[in-house]
Structure 1
Amino acid sequence: MNFRALALSSVIALTPAAALADWQIDPSHTAVVFEVEHFGYSDVTGVFPKVQAEIENFDPENLESAKFTVTLDATAITTFWEARDEHIKGSDFLDVSEYPEITFVATEITETGDNTADITGDLTIKDVTKPVTFEATVNKIGESPVMQGTNVAGFTLNGEVDRTEFGVDAYAPAIGAVIPVTINVELMNKD
């Protein structure tokens, strides 16, 4: 069963209207997590907890037609250490006073396996835009066990971002330049 068929069979089991309904991101179950190597001694984990998305044409019958734009609130970044967070928000790194948002605009979705796909898009950090590809896995699509009449689609995306390509090059390569990124996202709709 391919990515599309898995998602489709899950949604059809719910209701035919689910494929046509408006899907919205569930911000309470969505986060962007990353790790940065610290001088080879350890990896520092960070999170962008505030994620918004505009989603169009999400149809499990035709995943390639989906269009979406994801916006991260760069001012909300946390590495669980306030002094480090303030440094990352400053001009050495993200310069959030000038560039408060990071965006990803999907440009292509390509099935790669039974429940996987590559999602390529334009990532903008600060004032630099470059193409980036994430490997996506569909975790589950079904009716919420808590909210009757609400359908949920859960995905995990993995990829890498070379921060130096976006002008975020302070202390590289001593502090990791290539950053592994994991995105856990839930979409939901109501019949």
Structure 2
Amino acid sequence: MAGRLLPSWAWVSGLTVGATAAVVALAVQAEHGPHPTAATAGPRASASASPRPHASADPKPSAPPALPDGSGTGRRIVYSVGEKRVWLVDATGHATRTFPVWPGTVNPQPGRYSVTLRIQSLKGSDGVEIEHVMYFTKVEGVNIAFSNALDGSSPPPAGGQKLGGIRMHKQDGAALWSFGDTGSKVSVVQ
């Protein structure tokens, strides 16, 4: 009978192959079955709780910042010094567009102004080629104007200069240029 016994390595190999086949079979079966998802319990739920993201798990884009109170009435351009943001407001008082800006080193005081001059393009006081330039006030001898760099870049560091340019992205500059004309109201708020 001793000649009929299998060596121990054969038993171990056979068990390993059998166990591997069982795991593969279970994995294939599990892939085709239902997938558990974590229960969502309010704001602490994570979008990664489910192994497969669902459309409802995608975060909703946040609403744009609200138009500041006390920014006037009617069609106007609203600039918030503190929020570094511009709103384009239609005649009904509805903000049709809002976008962030990069202010210069000299800020206008809160108040009501109007666009006094529009220039298609020129070299800014910081040496950058700019376009869609819309002047609306002057502070300490420094002209304050909206504009965007021709190449769409943000302004370089001021390097101690007094700069009144309120720069924006290129597409926002084009939108502002189309929205406002000489005489358009500009409301500056804190």
TM over 0.5: no
| Higher relative contact order structure (alpha carbons within 8 Å, sequence separation ≥ 6) | 1
What's the TM-score once normalised by structure 2's chain length? 0.23
Higher strand proportion (structure 1 or 2): 1
- Structure showing greater Rg: 2
TM-score normalised by L of structure 1: 0.23
Which has the larger share of helix? 2
